[in-house]
Structure 1
């Protein structure tokens, strides 16, 4: 279909930058998610790709052709907005056919393409309905069909499911992924939902303050975050801030070997990397509460320094409130000034040396 190349693209508003020197290559048929909090610049970047915003600097190319200054109608892109942007005075067929009529296609060809697009998004037979008669999910399918019927080289989706309930979002994102895979169309999908990005993307671009924090596949982003921001934004992550002295984190409840220069670090580890054991010691960590999710339990643990961490345990482990526990940690990360400075015991590897306050090695107890 198409290859997209973004080089040093920026967009400034006044004295600040909404997008600041972003570069990205999107391969033919790839689905890339732009992920980040509100104000991170992801929608502005998408709108520049679609021609709805003009970059302050940088270039945008599609299949080697510079489209940076072309208006939306001159670009081989199709955009689906969060608001649907359907014409309420037209029925479904007329909404989808509008762009084809502007291209001067014969009536028979228009009808064939519109019916094909409706079937593709699961709305065969809905052409005569008014858009106000449709549910939110059906309206978003019409918006998707209106873009796909023009056969764009690149599909741009700007948080298309943000206004829908969770179950409908999950169903529609599966349908969109199926359609994208079937058509092999190069796609950029803007979202602030981490689950959506992990479920849909071939690669994820994590953005913050107009810049890219990390670009990688979902598994890499989740298992090997390169910044503290990415670690906290993707999935559930525990953070414990403490000092390193002599190559060890001297925490009241656990001691971790950490071969980094002395100073404060942020230790990060996921709930599934925590195992719990009994701790017949004075003080130490204790259970705050447990939540049964059916497939697992999430246990909130209060540490003696006032911080709280989560542990994911099998559903059969029923830890009680105020029960004292010892923590054994598998995969963990150390950050300083938002940057990763050390990663140890990745999933499937050996556990790091974690000790209880009395010096017992809990990793090998």
Structure 2
């Protein structure tokens, strides 16, 4: 059982720079949690504090109940994989992976057995004698992963490990990493700014902003029930429309929807796939600006009179033309006020 407990952890780099602010999270045994957020949200700083590469200004970090907040990286039961691979170019693959085991002064036969086993696990069986310069970027990242896994860490820390790779390789490697993680049952914290990566990999996603948690929930809940306007706009594609609620209606120049909450300003959020469009029955206040055909579906960009631009997903681009007037009807939506959801519709 390997459980990571982060309690009220903060990191201040200067009087004006608070990178992580009173952050609390428990990662369960065998769970894979993605820290997701824009650059500067504090996710990599948090990971480095867990790995021992940064010292928290306040708070505590425990692994299986043991306090590790002030321990050096080599004294912690953690393994960290960086974006840059950080391989030693003067060593071959075997020696890169074996380095930590040699520091522990394990017998040579055990080192060879464990290195060969972990290289096979990451799909690099037979690559031990190759130089790191002979490897592709994806293979180098597999070596970096193997170097961490061979030490049998309780907690695996991944800091945007696929960011420098091309899209197809990134997708393949993240599937392989997820398979390995599940096979080993290793508790894992994965930092990324890619929504697709978080949605594809995570048991839970923690969306960070300004060093704090905006929402922590399973991927489907973060996507379908974002807790704040920031999460709504950050995860996937989302239309955010500012307006007023009056007499039980959210009113905008292009459409109206029933919202049974108190009057006042509000932000309506609707996904492109939940925004129904139809040829205008009258004059039409919304007009099509552009249609992008993806084959399996199309995205229609729509301009509203107040210069707001929305996106709607349609099954076939051929039914629509630029500059056509359309009527809009949100089929499922959320309404936010004061940075919190105050109403969610029932999907049709």
1:278 corresponding residue in structure 2:
279
1:4 corresponding residue in structure 2:
4
Instruction: Name the TM-score, length of structure 2 as normaliser.
Output: 0.97
Q: CA deviation at 1:275?
A: 1.4
The answer to whether the 8 Å contact 2:292/2:317 transfers is no
Matched, 1:168 2:169: yes
Superposition map of 1:284-323 within 5 A? 284-315=285-316, 318-323=319-324
Q: CA deviation at 1:235?
A: 0.3
The answer to whether the 8 Å contact 1:77/1:156 transfers is yes
The answer to whether the 8 Å contact 2:237/2:271 transfers is yes
CA distance in 2 between counterparts of 1:201 and 1:6 reads: 18
CA distance in 2 between counterparts of 1:50 and 1:169 reads: 24
1:124 corresponding residue in structure 2:
125
CA distance in 1 between counterparts of 2:75 and 2:284 reads: 68
Secondary structure at 1:17 match in 2: strand
The answer to whether the 8 Å contact 2:335/2:341 transfers is yes
- More off after superposition, 318-327 vs 83-92: 318-327
Secondary structure at 2:319 match in 1: coil
CA distance in 1 between counterparts of 2:318 and 2:204 reads: 36
- Offset from partner CA, 1:192-222 (integer Å, 9 cap, x none): 0000000000000000000000000000000
Matched, 1:91 2:83: no
Matched, 1:217 2:221: no
Q: Which runs of 5+ in 1 are unaligned?
A: 351-365
Secondary structure at 2:69 match in 1: coil
- More off after superposition, 60-69 vs 240-249: 240-249
Secondary structure at 1:11 match in 2: strand
Considering only aligned residues, what root-mean-square deviation do their CA atoms show, in Å?
A: 1.1
Secondary structure at 1:177 match in 2: helix
CA distance in 1 between counterparts of 2:314 and 2:251 reads: 25
2:65 corresponding residue in structure 1:
64
The answer to whether the 8 Å contact 2:245/2:265 transfers is yes
Matched, 1:179 2:163: no
Secondary structure at 2:46 match in 1: helix
- More off after superposition, 25-34 vs 251-260: 251-260
- More off after superposition, 335-344 vs 96-105: 335-344
Moved over 2 A (4+): 259-263, 315-318
CA distance in 2 between counterparts of 1:252 and 1:316 reads: 26
Aligned length: 347
The answer to whether the 8 Å contact 1:4/1:61 transfers is yes
Matched, 1:336 2:318: no
Q: CA deviation at 1:316?
A: 6.3
Q: CA deviation at 1:299?
A: 0.8
C-alpha distance 317-332 of structure 1, shift in aligned 2 (>3 A): farther
The answer to whether the 8 Å contact 1:297/1:317 transfers is no
Q: CA deviation at 1:337?
A: 2.9
Secondary structure at 1:328 match in 2: strand
1:82 corresponding residue in structure 2:
83
Q: CA deviation at 1:286?
A: 1.4
The answer to whether the 8 Å contact 2:138/2:165 transfers is yes
CA distance in 2 between counterparts of 1:341 and 1:52 reads: 41
Q: CA deviation at 1:262?
A: 2.3
The answer to whether the 8 Å contact 1:283/1:304 transfers is no
Secondary structure at 1:335 match in 2: strand
- Offset from partner CA, 1:127-146 (integer Å, 9 cap, x none): 11111111111110000000
CA distance in 2 between counterparts of 1:161 and 1:208 reads: 22
Secondary structure at 1:182 match in 2: helix
The answer to whether the 8 Å contact 1:34/1:42 transfers is yes
Q: CA deviation at 1:259?
A: 2.2
CA distance in 2 between counterparts of 1:4 and 1:226 reads: 24
CA distance in 2 between counterparts of 1:280 and 1:47 reads: 57
- Offset from partner CA, 1:339-362 (integer Å, 9 cap, x none): 2122112xxx34xxxxxxxxxxxx
Q: CA deviation at 1:250?
A: 2.0
Q: CA deviation at 1:317?
A: 5.4
Instruction: Name the TM-score, length of structure 1 as normaliser.
Output: 0.93
2:233 corresponding residue in structure 1:
232
2:191 corresponding residue in structure 1:
190
